[in-house]
Structure 1
Amino acid sequence: MRTLTISLTAQQIARLQSAIEGGGYASNSEIVRDALRLWEQREELRTLELQHLKRAYADGMGSGKPVAVDPTEFIGSLKAERRARGWL
């Protein structure tokens, strides 16, 4: 493994020490590796969400000509549909 030097605040250092002393982690390196795994997972989810949004946008753009909708009427129709289904 390669050694990397990082700068942390006093509060971050205290939290690392607390996690080690509490038995949650064996070392600072273990904490940082866990944090990086979580960051990688978050980045993967962000990438998947962006792909989903791009597909949804493309689907919307390809679905036909836009139609003007009155927001008040639209919300009213959604509420009426919920009442008809017994959801309200």
Structure 2
Amino acid sequence: MGAIERMTITMPTELAEAVRQTVAGGEYASTSEVVREALRDWTRNRDAERRDLDALRAAIKAGLDSGPGIPADQVFAELRTRYATKT
């Protein structure tokens, strides 16, 4: 983990009480452990969101780079014609 730095945080009373109860219940040894785990989860979620956003941007770029689009009305008209003749 590297060097340890002390920080002071402020949170709503209800959240602080939930953290204290979690420690008192034995799930964690200290409030610092609760906060560290929450920050690790937040970091993982943030990284996943960034990967998803990058993938979305790549998909949009691939779509834009694939050439000109076809108007939706034209596509649906062609589909209706195609499926009308198959029944």
TM-score range, shorter chain: 0.7 to 0.9
Counterpart of 1:27 (choices 2, 27, 30) is 30
Match of 1:38 in 2: 41
Match of 2:19 in 1: 16
Deviation at 1:45, TM superposition (A): 0.4
Match of 1:49 in 2: 52
Q: Any gaps of 5 or more consecutive residues in structure 1?
A: 81-88
- Count of equivalent residues: 75
User: Which amino acid letter does the alignment assign opposite residue 39 of structure 1?
Assistant: W
Deviation at 1:64, TM superposition (A): 1.3
TM-score w.r.t. the length of structure 1 is 0.75
Deviation at 1:8, TM superposition (A): 1.4
**Residue aligned with 1:50, SS:** helix
Residue 67 (str. 1) matches residue 70 (str. 2): yes
Deviation at 1:66, TM superposition (A): 1.0
Q: Any gaps of 5 or more consecutive residues in structure 2?
A: none
Q: Which has the larger radius of gyration?
A: 2
- Aligned identity (percent) is 29
